[in-house]
Amino acid sequence: MPATIKLDATQSGDLEKAASLLLAGHLVAIPTETVYGLAADASNDQAVRKVFEAKQRPVGHPLIVHVASPDRISLWVDQIPDTARQLIQAFWPGPLTLLLPKKNGVSDFITGGNPGVAVRMPAHPATLATMQRLGRELVAPSANPYGRISPTTAEHVLEGLSGKIEAVLDGGDCSVGIESTIIDLTGDTPVIARPGQIAQSDIEACLGITLAPGRSASQAVPGSVKRHYQPVTPTVGVATDRFAGLLPEVTPAGEKIGVIWWQSAPGELASESIMLSADPNEYARMLYTAMHAMDKANVDRIVIELPPRESQWLAVHDRLGRACTEQFA
């Protein structure tokens, strides 16, 4: 395959180009508000198959169908319960994926053979405009090689998938920075299958009900395997109150460490450091970008200062739990 081309999301000619590549069955990485997605025409099985090859993702891990408008889900979903309508009204376009009973004939490549199909309307204008031109839905897993950190810039996409996909549509930095919340609406009661920026409390307020605690990440959805979203460099998490004491201990003599912190400045113990934020949404927005940067910084080990164990940090802790080989909580 020729080198991956970079398209500019502010140029309508480039959106046209992205749409025509997708229509021809090629792979194009697209910006969303959460992370970049690796898009393929959802109605083209051959194109969908290429997604698994490019990412080295095991077949059987299902893919989210991205729609340009809520009414399009009726092509994919069998019944649309009232809960889904309420959530769509409140949160779309936005970082919420709904798992709903699939329509007969939806490809097993997309659902991994599950009775449910995941649908989401992303909030990036260039991606919505591309899909409108295309007039079809797109499957789009995060645009990273399997097991690696999701991309939040077009550069991250190229670092992982250059030469394996036709194009990346550069739409700038992702504003949410972690993957969408997934809510499973296929059972008797809604269940959060993957935490994200839209929290359980937001969903409860919208639906006027109390949800049972989410399933543990390992049970939830097939892509939620424990080892996932990892930097190449060994990465450990350390709680704030143990940070000053533990930082020298977790660092074997002579190792260069890169510290990602939000409260406890590491001083000269770190050869590289990146400060995040005390605000959960800001922290999430910056997290993957910081991990990508540290992974390239030639350090022997990455140490991440863990945020507080509070409910508003749930999605961040979920991602850190996968990124870290070890945590000192």
Q: Which residues bind ligand TXA (CB under 6 A)?
A: 32, 34-35, 37, 61-64, 97, 99, 111, 114, 116-118, 120, 122, 140-142, 179-180, 182, 221-224
First-to-last alpha carbon distance for the chain, in angstroms, is 46
Amino acid in position 145: P
Q: What DSSP designation does 121 have?
A: -
- Give the residue nearest to Mg ion (CB): 142
CB of 55 to Mg ion, least distance (A): 8
In this complex, which beta carbon is closest to ligand TXA, that of residue 83 or of residue 142?
142
Which residue lies nearer to ligand TXA by CB, 60 or 135?
Answer: 60
The identity of residue 133, as a single letter, is R
Q: Which does 58 bind (CB under 5 to 8 A by kind): ligand TXA, Mg ion, none?
A: none
Least spacing, CB of residue 124 vs Mg ion, in Å: 17
Structure-derived torsion over alpha carbons of residues 66, 71, 73, 79, reported in degrees to the nearest 10: 160
Residue whose CB is less far from ligand TXA, 210 or 216: 216
Nearest approach, Cβ of residue 8 and ligand TXA (Å): 19
Nearer of residues 144 and 251 to ligand TXA, judged by Cβ? 144
Q: Report the nearest approach of ligand TXA to the CB of residue 314 (Å).
A: 16
The string over 215-248, giving b where at least 16 C-beta atoms fall within 10 Å of a residue's C-beta and e elsewhere, is eebeebbebbeeebbbbebebbbbbeebbeeebe
Handedness of CA 17, 23, 28, 32 (dihedral sign): positive
Angle at 84 (CA atoms; ends 203, 310), nearest 5 degrees: 20
Rounded distance between C-alpha atoms, residue 233 and residue 229, angstroms: 12
| Tokens, residue 55 | 């990412």
Q: Give the E-state strand segments of the chain in sequence order.
A: 5-8, 28-30, 37-41, 64-66, 96-101, 116-120, 138-139, 167-170, 181-184, 191-194, 235-239, 257-261, 272-275, 301-306, 326-328
Residue number, 140 or 247, with CB nearest to Mg ion:
140
With CB cut-offs between 5 and 8 Å by kind, which of ligand TXA, Mg ion, none does residue 323 bind? none
**Shortest CB 183 distance to ligand TXA, Å:** 11
Diameter of the chain by CA atoms? 60
Smallest distance, Å, CB 285 to ligand TXA?
Answer: 13
Closest approach, Cβ 329 to ligand TXA, in A, equals 24
Under the criterion CB under 5 A, does residue 224 sit at the interface with Mg ion?
A: no
Residue nearer to ligand TXA on the CB measure, 4 or 273: 4
Residue that has been written with the tokens 């069955």 in this structure: 25
Q: Which residue, 15 or 35, has its beta carbon nearer to ligand TXA?
A: 35
Is 152 an interacting residue with respect to Mg ion (CB under 5 A)?
Answer: no
User: Which of the residues 106 through 145 are near Mg ion (CB under 5 A)?
Assistant: 142
Interacting residue ranges for Mg ion, rule: CB under 5 A: 142
